[in-house]
Every structure is written in C-alpha cells, then in structure tokens.
Structure 1
Amino acid sequence: MAQEKLTSLDELPPSAKLVYKVLEYESDLTQDQLATETRLPPRTVRYALNELQSCGLIEENLYFADARKRLYSIQTDETQ
C-alpha cells in the first residue's frame, strides 16, 4: 500500500508534494496554516488539497477551534 501512495504522490504537481511534505512534518493543519507554512497562495493550497484528497493521501476533519474550517492530516494505514 505504501508503494501505491508513493507512486500517486510522484505523479502530483509540485504544490501538492509541498503540501504533503509540510503535513508530514507539521501534522494537522488548516488550509490557512498550510498557506502560511508553504508560502503558497490559498487557491494553490486548495488545489493541492483537492488533488491529495482525490488520491486518498490526506484526510479532512472538523477543526474544533473554528467549525468553519477543516483540519488536514496525512492519511495513515489505521484510518483507511
């Protein structure tokens, strides 16, 4: 399964790879936090998150501090 994820990540655009790596190092982040950490425009972060979600590489959860936002994290084998 890890090999499938690696192949999917290799085929994604650089912005999605950067967002994935930041999530890998920083753990759970909101879209705004990802934009700050990656220094990418919010629209590019949204696109990267959509690409990563469509590949099943990340998961989206409710952000309890602000219910209007979502918290993104790397999808682990336990959550699949």
Structure 2
Amino acid sequence: MSATEFEVDAEPVGWDAVADLPPSAKLVAKVLEYNDRLTQSQLADETMLPPRTVRYALTRLEDVDAVDSRFSFTDARKRVYSLAVE
C-alpha cells in the first residue's frame, strides 16, 4: 500500500470547526463576524443569551481557535473577543 491510500483525519479549521459546535457558539461567532471586538457582557446583550451560555460558547470557540481574546485597555478586568476565522 502506498501512503496516498490512507486518508488522514485532520481537525477541521476555520468555519468548518465552528460548524461542529453548539448553536450558541455559532451565534456568538456570527455576532463577532459583524462586530470587530466585543466584551462578554456585550456579546450577552447582542445575542440575548445568558452570560453563562456566552462563557460556554466562548470556551468552545477558543478550543477550536476561532476567537482571539485580549485584555481590555479601558478596563483590565474585562476581556475583548474578536473572530479569528475568515
């Protein structure tokens, strides 16, 4: 057998990785697609999801490298999230 006969199961990346996530994570990703950067509370307001659900969605998105997070320059207690996929 040659090496080309075996298929490698690669991890999905980009929007393909997001497609396998729960609906709340997809919604957060879509909101971030239309907004440059948002805090967790702003995401909760925009999506109308409970803060706990937004936290879970962000964790799942971070697991597949679909979002970037940084500390807010205006309030160091908050993190600002942006979409990392195209």
Q: Structure 2 length normalisation: TM-score?
A: 0.82
Coordinate RMSD, CA, aligned: 1.4
- SS in structure 1 at match of 2:13: helix
Question: What's the offset of the Cα at 1:26?
Answer: 1.1
SS at match of 2:73: coil
Does residue 7 in structure 1 map to residue 16 in structure 2? yes
Say which one has the larger Rg: 2
Unaligned runs of 5+ in 1: none
Structure 2 residue runs of 5 or longer lacking an equivalent are: 1-11
Q: Which residue of 1 aligns with 2:27?
A: 18
Distance 1:11 1:76 in 2: 14
Encode CA deviations 1:11-70: one digit per residue, 9 max, x unaligned.
Answer: 000000000000000110000000000000000000000000010000000101110000
Corresponding residue of 2:43: 34
Seq. identity, %: 53
Q: Which has the higher helix share?
A: 1
Q: Is 1:43 matched with 2:52? A: yes
How does the TM-score come out when normalised to structure 1? Answer: 0.88
User: 1:63 aligned to 2:75?
Assistant: no
